[in-house]
């Protein structure tokens, strides 16, 4: 995670280890998650507007492309959802929460999986169409 550098992926600042307890420290993003803006009863998403929402969607796609193609090894996130997209002070989105992520080599075109990973409603359809066994890249 420390070697990943992209404007749309959260930056790891440091880590702590105390016996069996461990913590990762990431950059602070003051505007919270995208989920806060699209599901707010205060209708905060009208503040962002359609043009900004389109910019955010494109930036998320660029971050995913970087994870899949721009790193030494492919990083498959498996849990892209509004809650895991954080917004900086300029509302630039950053992909976060790599707890379900899986690394695979770039020459690998099929990733073997024993179970579906991710949050229901956000899981990629190819995970289901491949019978939970393989994801074709």
Please write the tens of the pLDDT for every residue from 49-107.
889 999 999 999 999 999 999 988 889 888 999 999 999 999 999 999 988 888 888 77
Between the CA of residue 40 and those of 35, 37, 44, 79, what are the distances in Å? 8, 6, 6, 21
> Would you state the structure tokens that stand for residue 81, as one six-digit string?
């959802």
How many Cα atoms sit within 13 Å of 108 on the Cβ side? 15
* List 42, 55, 72, 79, catalytic entry: 79
CATH number of 12-101: 1.10.510.10
Backbone angles phi, psi at 32, to 5 degrees: 70, -155
Tell which wins on pLDDT, 109 or 52. 52
Residue 81's pLDDT is 93
Active site residue 79: yes
| Angle (nearest 5°) at CA 137 between 56 and 107 | 115
pLDDT value at residue 71:
86
pTM for this structure?
A: 0.79
Highest mean pLDDT, choosing among 5-9, 36-40, 41-45: 5-9
Tell me which residue of 95, 82, 136 sits closest to 12, measured CA to CA.
95
Q: Give residue limits of the domains in the chain.
A: 12-101
Dist CA 62 CA 54 (whole Å): 12
């Amino acid at each position: 995670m420390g070697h990943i550098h992209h404007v749309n992926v959260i930056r790891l600042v440091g880590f702590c280890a105390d016996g069996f307890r461990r913590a990762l420290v990431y950059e602070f993003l003051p505007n919270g998650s995208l989920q806060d803006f699209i599901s707010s009863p205060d209708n905060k998403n009208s503040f962002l507007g359609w043009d900004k929402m389109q910019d955010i969607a494109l930036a998320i796609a660029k971050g995913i492309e970087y994870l899949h193609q721009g790193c030494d090894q492919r990083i498959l996130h498996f849990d892209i959802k509004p809650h895991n997209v954080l917004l900086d002070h300029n509302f630039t989105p950053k992909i976060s929460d790599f707890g379900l992520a899986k690394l695979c080599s770039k020459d690998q075109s099929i990733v073997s999986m024993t179970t579906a990973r991710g949050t229901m409603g956000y899981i990629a359809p190819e995970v289901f169409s491949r019978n939970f066994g393989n994801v074709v890249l």
